[in-house]
Structure 1
């Protein structure tokens, strides 16, 4: 779920998918890649997280939000 290529499909039979390799599966994509190739996924790319202020709150008076 931390990979930027992971996505949720909302299909009951295949709820998880990989945008890079364009597949859907009932398994987590990294498990399917490991089973298929025998190696960890080499295309893993950490998802960017939203940055917040030190106190965990955003200041919406800040002009960068407008």
Structure 2
């Protein structure tokens, strides 16, 4: 199952057009979704995923 960064409490959007997405848990910014970078780098799904409080929007 792929991790959905948009539903993670550590995901954030930046003002940097070259790296518009970031992960507070791992401490990096990227053009892609952070979970894709983590998967490509480690070969594993993101282990720091924590669902946002209040549930996901539908």
TM-score range, shorter chain: 0.7 to 0.9
Where has structure 1 moved over 4 Å in runs of 4 or more?
none
TM-score scaled by length of structure 1? 0.72
Q: Which has the larger radius of gyration?
A: 1
Q: Give ranges in structure 1 of 5+ residues lacking alignment.
A: 51-66
TM-score scaled by length of structure 2? 0.81
RMSD across aligned positions (CA): 1.1
Q: Which has the higher contact order (CA 8 A, sep 6+)?
A: 2
